[in-house]
Amino acid sequence: MGINRAEASALKRERQRQLIEFIKKSPRTRAELQSIFSSWERSDRTLRNYLEDLKGIGVIFYDDENNRYTWCENKRIYTKKEYDVALKHSKLITLSHNEPYFWGFNNFEPHAAIKCLGNPNDQQFELFREHLQSGYPDIWNILENYQQKYQEVPEKGMFELRENSPEIVAKRREIFKLEAQLANEVYHIVDLVVHGTPLNGTCENCTSKHLSIIKE
């Protein structure tokens, strides 16, 4: 026996509430939302309708630049001056420049850049790491996982194949997989900065944390 209209309406509200709570924690891709939603419902069309309803009432929006659904309170709207300041700061900690001299992601080979980023003792990308931690929780979790896995493999084991145990070989594969995933995510962020999108989050030297964000 199916549920009646009142029960269906209550179920819809509960599902939408759960989606909102999930998106509030961090901006989510459609695939991430589908993953959690599939444990409740089988219909992709139902998820699409729920998301459209939430967008329609202004609770969430779809960020085309990051390809993620985002809680509207996280939407940043800058004045022209604030935007210029935030973008300049973002470029200073991601791209190469001489103010003072800085070797940015755009001049790093991705493998080397992620190794630097993953080394907590390496100061090269310390400020960028702070932006990841405060503004990109999903990517930060991947970075922490990468750091943990890297510490589990002896330095010798990262370079010598013949003497490695199957366990070390398996961990190396995990590390390389996480490294590739990080490179893809990080260089996507860098590409957004290049094309005019300031970094999310803040850092110790961040001017953007002093900006007064205008909310709709």
Band of residue 93 on the pLDDT scale cut at 50, 70, 90: confident
User: Residue 59: which residues within 8 A CB-CB, separation 6 or more?
Assistant: 20, 71, 72
Contacts of 183 (CB under 8 A, 6+ apart): 110, 111, 113, 114
User: Is 61 in the same domain as 86?
Assistant: no
Residue scoring higher pLDDT (100 or 130): 130
Q: For 50-78, what is the mean pLDDT? A: 75
Same domain for 62 and 88? no
pLDDT for position 210: 40
Q: Which long-range contacts (CB under 8 A, 24 or more apart) does 38-47 make?
A: 40/15, 41/15
Confidence of residue 157 (pLDDT cuts 50, 70, 90): very low
Nearest-5° angle of CA 186, CA 187, CA 190?
Answer: 95
State pLDDT tens for residues 105-139.
887 888 888 888 888 887 778 889 888 887 788 88
Q: Is the pLDDT of residue 59 over 60?
A: yes
Q: What pLDDT, on a 0 to 100 scale, did the predictor assign at position 214?
A: 37
> Which pLDDT value is given to residue 78?
66
**Rounded to an integer, what distance in angstroms lies between the CA atom of residue 165 and that of residue 146?**
20
Model pLDDT for residues 175-196, shown as the tens digit of each residue? 889 999 999 999 998 998 888 8
- Structural domain of residue 158, as residue ranges? 80-210
- The per-residue pLDDT for 180 is 92
If asked whether residues 143 and 185 sit together in one domain, one would say: yes
User: Of 143, 132, 137, which is closest to residue 206 (Cα–Cα)?
Assistant: 132
Q: DSSP E strands: which ranges in the chain?
A: 60-63, 68-71, 97-98, 101-102
- CA–CA gap between residue 148 and residue 120 (Å, rounded): 11
Domain boundary among 74, 90, 121: 74
* CA–CA gap between residue 127 and residue 136 (Å, rounded): 13
Q: Where do we find the tokens 């935007």?
A: 83
Residue 197 and residue 176 share a domain: yes
Considering 35, 58, 74, which residue would you say is the last residue of a domain?
74
Residue 33 has pLDDT above 90, yes or no: no
CATH, residue 46: 1.10.10.10
State yes or no: pLDDT of 208 exceeds 50. no
pLDDT at residue 84 greater than cutoff 50: yes
Residues 118 and 205 in one domain: yes
Give counts: helices (H), strands (E), the chain.
8, 4
Same domain for 65 and 89? no
Q: Is the pLDDT of residue 79 over 80?
A: no
- Looking at per-residue pLDDT, the higher value among 215 and 89 belongs to 89
Work out how many domains the chain is built from and give that number. Answer: 2
Q: Same structural domain for residues 68 and 112?
A: no
